[in-house]
Structure 1
């Protein structure tokens, strides 16, 4: 079906002959496809077939083929498509959405709907729980499940969201079966599944918006000895450095810090230099307002989500490890 869609876009596809099968297997492609444009320009792709693609999976794709990769799947939403374009990965889905670029060829088709989901069933209410403001509320529920029983005003204060957003999130999660009302009030259910959903949406809708600054430093060996200083400045550790504090076997190559604003004195003391692109010290906004006086690290659901949002397969492996070693994440998985 996807190859037929390419034909509709003016590209002629040819699955290469049997002698290329061994090459495809060796280079982890599902098939080898040669595309020819009307101008005569050709490109040979290693085809990677994914039955379903979420923003989380798009963030962590590791397509290692001999040929340029062409991702083929049933449907690619615009948030996923945006992530794939940023990563330079060409794609096509069975709805006809596609992005392919080489030489003088550019195919860019967006906005075609998933044929498996009728228009009437697409609900805008998802933005209530997993839009930028709603994600803050869900984070509070994942990090402190006992907060589910609290009044809306308490949840609003802890998350920094409005009362209207809190109500929309509670209604959405209740309707989806992630919250239920028992003898003791509202309770969180299927916490592990909710964490998966939240982490996907976080990587697309909130992660980038929290950046306060990117910095570089040659030597990161000092940070584990800076606990007292960070506590005094209201700085908490997240990302793979936070994962390293959960699991000492992990060796972090970057430092993610959360603070209410850029800590100028801390930056100067440790000679952090502004990075033009992405450095190895990421300073991000501390977006929640529930105090945890004894916590040096951010809550582990955020550490987990940061690892997935990094797009680094090594950090994703760290995420899998702390899901089985961190008490908070284990309890969520059992709820």
Structure 2
């Protein structure tokens, strides 16, 4: 069950299937994905009211940021009106957010919201089911750094452990267990003695969720605002004036607007090398929990865009830009779509590595 699911995710999916079958007159069947690595998981529901299919997105331990990313992924996915979010637990606050966004969901505790005519189901108030299981190393901070490298440079799957560790910025001893888990999840396969990356788009969706929930917070991320008299659009020139073009990457909405040469930069992410306080002083940033600028450490050596850019300030790679736009919610939907179509879709068009 579930080609790209961890053991915990498989158990959660089984619990959710059992909860759906407990609804009066409801039959629920899991549909195995086809041979194409891009084929999604699906559920078939049947009852006195008729029958319908859902495409399934399974994500565990959703935070507010994670829910925002999942909503964006579903809304910008291939079938936003027939997608089902499957998870271990949805709190009351997150359930309201999902319903307001028009996202159907079911959790392992028995909570559910299915709003696809002629099927209407609303179950709430069920408590979390506590379960201990093996944690996924591939989607913890070190694993997410390595997954980013593989998505950014698919040929890196063939590299030595030492090269992977150095380029991703993680401990050498972490590489082997992470790669083995990715193989178990069918994101890597062995062909002629070489590792090959597959199911890249699904891996991207999982990486983006992990970036917002786990990797970005681990990078000492803090919110800031600019000193009076400065605008977010002034940041590229300020970075250049301070001689910081090699140590600071422009990301988030500002980086996307610069790369696409369109849109209004109402927020930004800045990825820095060195000392946080020194960076803040030189760029005139003031800590502010409601600020529109996210400041965080850089990771690895493949985080920057290597193509053309309109200014001397360096821009974060489109993989990072897209993940950071997900955290901005619906306000960035148009930019997300344009960025994906222009810069990410070509990367994921071919599953086979030449």
Same fold (TM over 0.5): yes
Larger deviation: 186-195 or 247-256?
A: 186-195
Q: What is the correspondence of 1:76-95 to structure 2 with a 5 Å cutoff?
A: 76-78=87-89, 81=91, 84=94, 93=106, 95=108
Q: Residue 307 in 1 paired to residue 325 in 2? A: yes
C-alpha displacement at 1:51, in angstroms? 7.0
Q: Is the 8 A contact 1:262 1:283 kept in 2?
A: no
Distance in 2 of aligned mates of 1:225 and 1:188: 39
Q: Residue 279 in 1 paired to residue 288 in 2? A: no
C-alpha displacement at 1:123, in angstroms? 6.8
Q: Considering only aligned residues, what root-mean-square deviation do their CA atoms show, in Å?
A: 3.9
Q: Which residue among 159, 171, 174 is the counterpart of 2:180?
A: 171
Q: What does residue 32 of structure 1 align with?
A: none
C-alpha displacement at 1:130, in angstroms? 1.0
Q: What is the correspondence of 1:1-335 to structure 2 with a 5 Å cutoff?
A: 54=59, 55=62, 58-60=67-69, 61=71, 75-78=86-89, 81=91, 84=94, 93=106, 95-96=108-109, 109-111=127-129, 124=134, 127-182=136-191, 185-217=194-226, 219-226=231-238, 228=240, 229=242, 231-232=244-245, 234-275=247-288, 277-290=289-302, 296-308=314-326, 310-326=327-343, 329-335=345-351
State the aligned residue count: 262
Q: Is the 8 A contact 2:88 2:108 kept in 1?
A: no
After superposition, the C-alpha distances for 1:135-176 in whole angstroms (9 at most, x for unaligned) are: 111111111222211100111112222233211221122233
After superposition, the C-alpha distances for 1:250-306 in whole angstroms (9 at most, x for unaligned) are: 32211110013444444334432220x231111111121458696712222121111
Q: Is the 8 A contact 1:257 1:282 kept in 2?
A: yes
C-alpha displacement at 1:227, in angstroms? 5.2
Shift of the 164–316 alpha-carbon distance from structure 1 to 2, 3 Å rule, reads farther
Gaps spanning 5+ residues in structure 1: where? Answer: 6-48, 63-72, 100-105, 114-121
Distance in 1 of aligned mates of 2:58 and 2:321: 23
Q: Is the 8 A contact 1:239 1:307 kept in 2?
A: yes
Q: Is the 8 A contact 2:259 2:315 kept in 1?
A: no
Q: Is the 8 A contact 2:152 2:302 kept in 1?
A: no
SS at 1:207's partner residue?
helix
Shift of the 278–50 alpha-carbon distance from structure 1 to 2, 3 Å rule, reads farther
Q: Is the 8 A contact 1:58 1:84 kept in 2?
A: yes
After superposition, the C-alpha distances for 1:50-76 in whole angstroms (9 at most, x for unaligned) are: 9756458721449xxxxxxxxxx7753
Q: Is the 8 A contact 1:95 1:112 kept in 2?
A: no
Distance in 2 of aligned mates of 1:202 and 1:83: 22
Q: Is the 8 A contact 1:149 1:184 kept in 2?
A: no
Larger deviation: 181-190 or 170-179?
A: 181-190
Shift of the 241–230 alpha-carbon distance from structure 1 to 2, 3 Å rule, reads farther
Gaps spanning 5+ residues in structure 2: where? Answer: 1-18, 24-53, 73-83, 113-123, 308-313
Q: What does residue 27 of structure 1 align with?
A: none
Distance in 2 of aligned mates of 1:206 and 1:82: 25
Distance in 1 of aligned mates of 2:97 and 2:68: 9
